[in-house]
């Protein structure tokens, strides 16, 4: 293989190894020595293809987000009314988070230094997700600007994430799956009923 | 001092030392050796008063939750309408989380083994918080049962927590304080408008 091909292969092998380690034991399972062994390279070679382990973690987390994206796309049906669409998205997010628990947790548990931001390419992968919610919001709030819909999609995602994450981690006490799902159903219903009044521009007299 | 008093004092000193360590550098700053040094005891003496470091972390996190409780109580005014009350609570939660960033993060970052639950006394401290949201929900949904209101209060707390935590950690991209606050304002408004229709029992014809 040419040097560039070898380098690309090592990069992929390291992402594969890191993804497996995260799926088995979370971010705390990510050790440079074990990764190098799994990818068949020297520990130092990791740093020829990634500046640091954070860069490798972003690659693993981006894979998780791309799978989530496909999962949400499969839950959507262009014929759904806004309430059905948002309910399906929220319940689909719950199922994905539960099924890919450790990889999904790694997306949010990844700590970077105070004040540091994720790289732009990674934030681009995150930003893709909001289009699923922007769809039903366009039907629900036809007068809202694209910026307003995007901000609202981020808010609704964050709210759903709070319900799913505190629920799955049982931070507030026991939270069976049906309790989490019911909370998401009530919440999406309240948005469909309440958001048009909450964010619609005031009507002129 | 009598043995029981000495034991109680060591317990308090260890909680103080752990709280300081968490405030300075988060849960990862909690090391038995440093705690013992700060409390002036042998490392082994920690385990005479706490079964393990998890038990000590619950004490620290309970202090944070009790301060949050006082902070939310100070934000409430019995004369407020439900929208004002819920908006004040959500914005107060945002301010507290930002002001006590590391201690607040420790409440949610504390990892316990899969399937384990926090102790009952700690869940009791958590449960106290929901009464702040149950107040405005009683005005908003007079026909809802106490169980329904409690479940809804947990859902609304979780949703607000998702907005605050993903915002403060900037997990979805840059999130200035006014963006987080605006998301909370729109969200609480939509609940006041939407929840009565979303969860009220169907009216009889």
What does the pLDDT look like over B184-196, one tens digit per residue?
Answer: 999 999 999 999 9
B126 vs A: CB within 8 A? yes
Query: How many contacts, defined by CB atoms under 8 Å, are there between A and B?
Result: 133
Q: Provide the token pair at B35.
A: 């705690």
- The answer to whether the CB atoms of B170 and A199 lie below 8 A apart is no
Q: Quote the mean pLDDT of chain B.
A: 93
The alpha carbon of residue B11 is apart from the nearest alpha carbon of chain A, in Å, by 25
The packing angle between helices B146-168 and B131-140, to 10°, is 120
- The answer to whether the CB atoms of B193 and A197 lie below 8 A apart is yes
pLDDT, one tens digit per residue, over B14-33 is 999 999 999 998 998 899 99
Cα–Cα dist A132/A79, whole Å = 14
Partner-chain residue, chosen from A123, A174, A190, that has the shortest CB–CB distance to B190: A190
Half-sphere exposure of residue A181: CA atoms within 13 angstroms, side-chain side: 9
Q: Is 80 exceeded by the pLDDT of residue A184? A: yes
B165 vs A: CB within 8 A? yes
What pLDDT sits at residue B1?
Answer: 75
What pLDDT sits at residue B28?
Answer: 87
What distances in angstroms separate CA A28 from CA A111, B74, B111, B201, one per listed residue?
11, 39, 11, 47
Note whether B179 and A152 are within 8 A (CB). no
Cα–Cα dist B125/B122, whole Å = 5
Partner-chain residue, chosen from A123, A160, A171, that has the shortest CB–CB distance to B108: A171
What pLDDT sits at residue A111?
Answer: 85
- The answer to whether the CB atoms of A172 and B154 lie below 8 A apart is yes
B172 vs A: CB within 8 A? yes
A24 vs B: CB within 8 A? no
Lowest mean pLDDT among A55-64, A105-114, A186-195: A105-114
- The answer to whether the CB atoms of B186 and A161 lie below 8 A apart is no
Q: What angle do CA B135, B138, B143 make, to 5 degrees?
A: 165
What pLDDT sits at residue B108?
Answer: 93
pLDDT tier for residue B111 given thresholds of 50, 70 and 90? confident
What pLDDT sits at residue A114?
Answer: 75
Contacts of B168 in chain A (CB under 8 A): none
Comparing B3 with A50, the larger pLDDT belongs to A50
Cα–Cα dist B101/B104, whole Å = 5
pLDDT, one tens digit per residue, over A127-138 is 999 999 999 999
* Contacts of residue B73, Cβ cutoff 8 Å, sequence gap at least 6: B132
Contacts of B126 in chain A (CB under 8 A): 171-173
What pLDDT sits at residue B203?
Answer: 62
Contacts of A123 in chain B (CB under 8 A): 172-173
Residue with tokens 């934030």: A123
ipTM of this predicted structure:
0.93
Q: Is 60 exceeded by the pLDDT of residue B204? A: no
- The answer to whether the CB atoms of B163 and A160 lie below 8 A apart is no
Cα–Cα dist B194/A86, whole Å = 15
Long-range pairs, A165-171, Cβ under 8 A, ≥24: A165/A97, A165/A108, A165/B162, A166/B108, A166/B158, A166/B161, A166/B162, A167/A94, A167/B158, A168/A97, A168/A98, A168/A101, A169/B108, A170/B117, A171/B107, A171/B108, A171/B126
Q: What angle do CA A29, A35, A38 make, to 5 degrees?
A: 120
> Which residue in chain B is spatially nearest to A193 when comparing CA positions?
B194
What pLDDT sits at residue A1?
Answer: 74
The alpha carbon of residue A201 is apart from the nearest alpha carbon of chain B, in Å, by 12
Note whether B130 and B154 are within 8 A (CB). yes
Contacts of B179 in chain A (CB under 8 A): 151
pLDDT, one tens digit per residue, over A149-179 is 999 999 999 999 999 999 999 999 889 999 9
- The answer to whether the CB atoms of A197 and B174 lie below 8 A apart is no
The alpha carbon of residue A158 is apart from the nearest alpha carbon of chain B, in Å, by 5
Cα–Cα dist A67/A160, whole Å = 18
Alpha helices in chain B (DSSP H): 3-25, 32-39, 43-49, 53-75, 82-99, 101-109, 120-129, 131-140, 146-168, 177-199
A199 vs B: CB within 8 A? yes
- The answer to whether the CB atoms of B152 and A189 lie below 8 A apart is no
> Which residue in chain B is spatially nearest to A189 when comparing CA positions?
B198
Q: Is 60 exceeded by the pLDDT of residue B179? A: yes
What pLDDT sits at residue B117?
Answer: 87
pLDDT, one tens digit per residue, over A80-122 is 999 999 999 999 999 999 999 999 999 999 988 777 889 999 9
- The answer to whether the CB atoms of B197 and A187 lie below 8 A apart is no
Contacts of A197 in chain B (CB under 8 A): 189-190, 193-194
Q: Is 70 exceeded by the pLDDT of residue A180? A: yes
B197 vs A: CB within 8 A? yes
């Amino acid at each position: 293989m040419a040097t560039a091909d070898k380098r690309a292969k090592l990069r992929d092998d390291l992402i594969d190894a890191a993804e497996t380690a995260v799926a088995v034991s979370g971010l705390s399972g990510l050790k440079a020595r074990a990764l190098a062994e799994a990818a068949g390279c020297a520990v130092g070679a990791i740093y020829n293809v990634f500046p640091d382990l954070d860069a490798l973690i972003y690659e693993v987390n981006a894979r998780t987000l791309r799978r989530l994206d496909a999962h949400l796309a499969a839950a959507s049906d262009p014929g759904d009314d806004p309430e059905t669409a948002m309910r399906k998205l929220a319940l689909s997010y719950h199922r994905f988070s539960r099924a890919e628990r450790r990889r999904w947790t790694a997306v949010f548990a990844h700590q970077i230094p105070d004040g540091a931001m994720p790289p732009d390419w990674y934030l681009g992968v995150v930003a893709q997700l909001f289009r699923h919610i922007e769809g039903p919001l366009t039907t629900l709030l036809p007068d809202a600007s694209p910026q307003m819909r995007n901000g609202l999609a981020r808010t609704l995602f964050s709210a759903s994430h709070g319900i799913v994450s505190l629920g799955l981690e049982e931070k507030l006490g026991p939270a069976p799956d049906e309790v989490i799902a019911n909370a998401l159903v009530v919440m999406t219903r309240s948005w469909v009923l309440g958001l048009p009044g909450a964010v619609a521009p005031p009507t002129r007299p």
